[in-house]
Structure 1
Amino acid sequence: MLEAILKINREFQTTTALITHNAVIAEIANRVLYFADGRIVETRCNEVQRAPGELTW
């Protein structure tokens, strides 16, 4: 599923917001936003994005 999302983003030059509690998934993102009490408390940009197949669950 993650590979399909990334493929659509590349082909259609879109942005996808993926909300999860799984921190491993954040490794495929360009930018990761952290929320607390409904507000953004931190923003991080990944220097290196990992492919979904490289993730270790």
Structure 2
Amino acid sequence: MDTLRTLNGDTYEVVSDVLVNAQENSDKNSDFSAKIKELNETIVTLNTENESFSA
């Protein structure tokens, strides 16, 4: 831990900030993944409806 503290300007704050940012990015990534899945399902539904109208 002393090595980490020395590398981070003699403080643990930088490590803490990095961990907070990593968690926030992970949460955003999960949200984006869920939205992508939702939009893909909508695309499939719309394509199916379009095919039925074209037939």
Q: Same fold (TM over 0.5)?
A: no
By relative contact order (CA 8 Å, sep 6+), the higher-ranking structure is: 1
Q: TM-score by structure 2 length?
A: 0.21
- Between Structure 1 and Structure 2, which shows a larger proportion of helix residues? 2
Structure with more of its chain in strand, by fraction: 1
Tell me which structure has the larger Cα radius of gyration: 2
